[in-house]
Amino acid sequence: MKSIIELSYVDILISTSLMLLTISLSFWQNLKLEKLLFVGMLRAFFQLTLIGYVLQEVFKMDSWLLIFVMLLLMLLIATRETLMRQKKKTKGMSSNVFIALSVTSIFMLFALTEVIIRIDPWYNPHYLIPLGGMILGNAMNISSLAIDRLYTEIKANKDGIETSLSLGATPRQAIEKYVQNAIKSSIIPATNGLMTVGLVQLPGMMTGQILSGISPAVAVNYQIVTMYVWVSAATMAGVIVTLLEAKKYFNSNQQLRLELLK
């Protein structure tokens, strides 16, 4: 088995020049993404460098309690990032997001590590942390898209919703198709990934395993499993957060809360 080629700081510097080229292209085309790209570049560097050192220590300690704390911290950060991406933040959104991400990540991570891969010990950080991060990251992205689309759908169709309510429809019936639209649009990126994987792109996990010298056949099996879990987690998170968010758009008298749509 070939050992992986290690990258130096010079190699990282070269890749940084590619990011600077991207920023220059944004400036040239007046896309106004220069600040976002630059900040994102810096954040990625410092966050990944930090997590690299943290994971080294976590792997050495091999403590289930420490791994639990780290996963909880990742969950809290994912919840915060989901909220930060919303144009309209409303009361109760943080708890809804936290519930959706918690339920999704716990269920999917258990299924992946204990039922499918069957890691030993059950808290093996080499599996639990990266796989938990993958599930959380995808659930976070889908939840963010679903919340934003639901708000847009309800705001654009508030007159129709109120008409349906006045004709005797329940709140659930009045917004059912808008909830469905929000869920479907949020999981499109996940389903698109299924359609092109292996043909157009080699995903991160598979690429990393192949680069480290693992047999492509083994890497493919891992990628199939993780892709299925990824899409399942995305769908579950989208459904849960959309249903939870939809309820708060109506008051106890089953009236649309127009103040949330301003």
Residue 116 tokens read as 């499918």
Average pLDDT over residues 202-224: 76
Average pLDDT over residues 1-15: 80
Model's pTM, two decimal places?
Answer: 0.84
Average pLDDT taken over every residue of the chain: 89
Give 7 or 139, the one with higher predicted confidence. Answer: 139
pLDDT in tens, 62-103: 889 999 999 999 999 999 999 998 988 888 899 999 999 999
Res 81: pLDDT: 92
pLDDT in tens, 101-146: 999 999 999 999 999 999 998 999 989 998 999 899 989 999 999 9
CA distance 101 to 104: 5
* Chain centroid to CA 91: 22
Peptide bond into 130 cis (omega under 30): no
Res 199: pLDDT: 64
Average pLDDT over residues 222-235: 88
Return the SS3 of 86.
coil
Torsion region of 239: left, alpha or beta (phi above 0 gives left; psi -120 to 50 gives alpha): alpha
Average pLDDT over residues 38-65: 90
CA distance 34 to 24: 8
Q: What distances in angstroms separate CA 34 from CA 18, 26, 31, 171, one per listed residue?
A: 14, 6, 8, 43
